[in-house]
Chain A
């Protein structure tokens, strides 16, 4: 571009991390002073933070104070949140039993329909563009507060009939879901009128990094609460006495396997070498001293074949490895040795439960039909290759993976056109990707169980939408740093140069370089019909599949 011609382009300052505060506006000095007096924060030494990222700056931009009235729901069980909360004033109540009193509501239906009608009216030749006023830097303070999802009118009766815990001033909650990218494990409701500090996880990440006391405290709470929550809620442990739960809690080990940044190197490792890179959690032939309960992540189940290993299935969060073998052993049919190995795919958190406890408390109340692996290789080379393809490619991570049946797909591109039509004429996926025989997994965001693209985002622009569980990008908050695109192990996030309303590229005011933003499939979360690609396929060749649902997956593949 010639220098003179650049004057005709729209220009904005290149977005930076703290252009947009977490709340409607930055926190005031009084707010910061109030927060620093809280028990959780008074232990943090300012000196450990670098000059470019002071604790005060983190709190100012990455946190907000939210006020809730008594009965307001702060957190809903099952939602995916990205924030830690600390009670500043008043108290909240954690509902430990998910009674369904806090109902899920899908907001914004009116907006969805408006968008759908808007897509009908838009010209097909129009180029996707941005309203640049959305990128203006926030500096004013308007004091607005967040509205709540819903309100519980009869909180007292819920408290009376179910198990709850009260949290008072200075206590924190919500950190497990925020730090592990897992669903919230309990409902939390305002017990009184309450002021709560909410810190988005990018802020927590940086506070953890520079403040050792916080890091230790959060790590300890994570270990204690994960274990306690798991034992209290998972079907495997349901029906156990408090004594049994206490024994398992005290004697089981929480362990972590694999590298935390596995996703950064995944594509550099050949598919055939990936199994060798996965650290063993338990190995075939070893004593059956314990069973492995997967808390988060995935494990590959293998059996030995000559000098190598054959993948026979995978286990995911909430599943157990070694239980069947222990059942056989318990009934006198086993050898006391492990028949299969379990390897960590990516990062895996597991609970290692001693066999003696399982035999004493769990096996007596169990049927023999419980399987340790959901998707198993069936006899036949096709099935084995398919399983290897899914596990080696880490595709079981997807909750809405786009699968294409190549025996039906004619390449008509109706799916691509439907996507473009619902996204300002700019499709959010590429109808191409890795394939095994007749199964193609396209380059469309899979909305992972563990979305590692969230990890490095400095602004929280990419997050999981609480209502729909969709991983989506807030375009206004994206600064184009490419961290998410580089982190996605499946190459499903694209960086695009944005355009203004006249269709011209938008440039940085300082460097005249194009402003770029991350884009990806958002599962059409803001249209009333759901994923347009799936519904647009006239040949029933495309599906958005939850890879956790192995029954549906196999049924679809083998139809």
Chain B
């Protein structure tokens, strides 16, 4: 997937922007005429938010012949964008006042921004995962990591036994063991910075001069596994991100609905009082 603007995507974006602009323009005119524009935009927003939440309901009904999740997601994205514009129109592009409104404003903004982050992640993650080693199932990563660590340990022991060298063992104890014992360099992988990888390779290069040919052969095998572990860390980082953002987006989306309901109730209660 990419961010390229296909014809279909362009048409959908155009429609969303036009509809949202009509709502915003109508709201501004109504507001100038002292009409209740906020009430209308509020109901539009509430309805759209309910529909957006239905995507999660669809995911929980895989056995039913309802519309494919792919089309649901497309509708979710465009309606989410529409909801964002309507939201800021509804708030008249101003910060809220009052505790409940602040809570609602913050929750909506976080949900909206996390949604945008989600779109970006779903576009960039596949190509990044493909470019760094074999695709690995997330739940299997700890097992693969342990396997690599075990293989490296065996090779280090061989180096002590067969090459009668402590150089590799020292490198292992100081540098490799901490690296192999868990996921590392999360931030570097997330930012696609490769300095730590170059540093690791420099550590290997630094000890090569002290080793006999058989020691160097073992070191090559160890380096291969260490770099594979680094690829595994990369897979772990990006798969964590793609799974993690939803942990923020979804619960807050669910929390938003009762907040919206309370917001509506309070507004009607006060407006009735005013009448």
Contact of A529 among B60, B63, B126 (CB under 8 A): B63
A537 touches B69 (CB 8 A): yes
Q: Does chain B have a CB within 8 A of A311? A: no
What is the chain B residue whose CB lies nearest that of A419? B62
| B115: min CB distance to chain A, Å | 13
- Complexed CA–CA distance, A417 and B59 (Å): 9
B200-244 near A? 1/0 per residue, CB < 8 Å:
000000000000000000000000000000000000000100110
B1-31 near A? 1/0 per residue, CB < 8 Å:
1000000000000000000000000000000
Contact of B135 among A406, A419, A530 (CB under 8 A): A406
Q: Does chain B have a CB within 8 A of A330? A: no
CB under 8 Å from chain B, chain A span 235-284: none
**Which residues of chain B come closer than 8 Å to A39, judged between CB atoms?**
none
B65 touches A528 (CB 8 A): yes
**Which residues of chain B come closer than 8 Å to A528, judged between CB atoms?**
63-65
A119 touches B239 (CB 8 A): no
15 example contacts (A-B, Cβ-Cβ < 8 A) are as follows: A116-B64, A119-B62, A120-B60, A120-B61, A406-B129, A406-B130, A410-B242, A411-B137, A412-B246, A418-B62, A524-B63, A528-B65, A532-B62, A538-B69, A538-B73
A421 touches B70 (CB 8 A): no
Q: Does chain A have a CB within 8 A of B33? A: no
- Complexed CA–CA distance, A422 and B59 (Å): 12
Q: Does chain B have a CB within 8 A of A115? A: yes
| A111: min CB distance to chain B, Å | 12
| B121: min CB distance to chain A, Å | 7
Question: Residues of A within 8 Å of B, CB-based: how many?
Answer: 38
Interface of B toward A, CB cutoff 8 Å = 1, 59-66, 68-70, 72-73, 121-122, 125-127, 129-130, 135, 137-138, 239, 242-243, 246
CB under 8 Å from chain B, chain A span 101-152: 115-116, 119-120
B63 touches A409 (CB 8 A): no
- Complexed CA–CA distance, A534 and B65 (Å): 12
**Which residues of chain A come closer than 8 Å to B62, judged between CB atoms?**
119, 417-419, 421-422, 529, 532, 535-536
- Given the known interface contacts A432-B137, A440-B135, A538-B70, the answer about A410 and B126 at a Cβ–Cβ threshold of 8 Å is yes
B73 touches A407 (CB 8 A): no
**Which residues of chain A come closer than 8 Å to B64, judged between CB atoms?**
116, 528-529
Q: Does chain B have a CB within 8 A of A399? A: no
| B232: min CB distance to chain A, Å | 14
- Complexed CA–CA distance, A210 and B73 (Å): 59
- Ranked nearest first, the 4 interchain pairs of A and B with the lowest CB-CB distance are A418-B62, A532-B62, A116-B63, A529-B65
**Which residues of chain A come closer than 8 Å to B122, judged between CB atoms?**
410, 539
B63 touches A407 (CB 8 A): no
A414 touches B69 (CB 8 A): yes
A408 touches B1 (CB 8 A): yes
Q: Does chain B have a CB within 8 A of A527? A: yes
B63 touches A532 (CB 8 A): yes
- Complexed CA–CA distance, A432 and B68 (Å): 22
B63 touches A406 (CB 8 A): no
**Which residues of chain A come closer than 8 Å to B135, judged between CB atoms?**
406, 411, 432, 435, 440
**Which residues of chain A come closer than 8 Å to B125, judged between CB atoms?**
410-411
| A533: min CB distance to chain B, Å | 8
- Complexed CA–CA distance, A250 and B164 (Å): 78
Given A407-B126, A535-B69: 18 more A-B contacts, CB < 8 Å? A119-B62, A408-B126, A410-B242, A411-B125, A414-B59, A417-B62, A418-B59, A421-B63, A432-B135, A524-B63, A527-B63, A529-B63, A529-B64, A529-B66, A537-B68, A537-B70, A538-B72, A539-B70
**Which residues of chain B come closer than 8 Å to A469, judged between CB atoms?**
none
- Given the known interface contacts A116-B63, A524-B63, A528-B65, the answer about A409 and B137 at a Cβ–Cβ threshold of 8 Å is no
Q: Does chain B have a CB within 8 A of A438? A: yes
What is the chain B residue whose CB lies nearest that of A418? B62
A422 touches B1 (CB 8 A): no
B130 touches A407 (CB 8 A): yes
What is the chain B residue whose CB lies nearest that of A433? B135
- Complexed CA–CA distance, A431 and B246 (Å): 20
What is the chain B residue whose CB lies nearest that of A422? B63
| B255: min CB distance to chain A, Å | 21
**Which residues of chain A come closer than 8 Å to B60, judged between CB atoms?**
120, 421
| B65: min CB distance to chain A, Å | 4
| A306: min CB distance to chain B, Å | 31
Contact of B130 among A414, A438, A529 (CB under 8 A): A438
A537-559 near B? 1/0 per residue, CB < 8 Å:
11111000000000000000000
**Which residues of chain B come closer than 8 Å to A537, judged between CB atoms?**
68-70
A411 touches B63 (CB 8 A): no
What is the chain A residue whose CB lies nearest that of B58? A536
**Which residues of chain A come closer than 8 Å to B65, judged between CB atoms?**
528-530
A460-479 near B? 1/0 per residue, CB < 8 Å:
00000000000000000000
What is the chain B residue whose CB lies nearest that of A411? B239
- Complexed CA–CA distance, A412 and B125 (Å): 11
- Complexed CA–CA distance, A414 and B121 (Å): 16
**Which residues of chain A come closer than 8 Å to B121, judged between CB atoms?**
410
**Which residues of chain B come closer than 8 Å to A539, judged between CB atoms?**
1, 70, 73, 122
What is the chain A residue whose CB lies nearest that of B76? A538
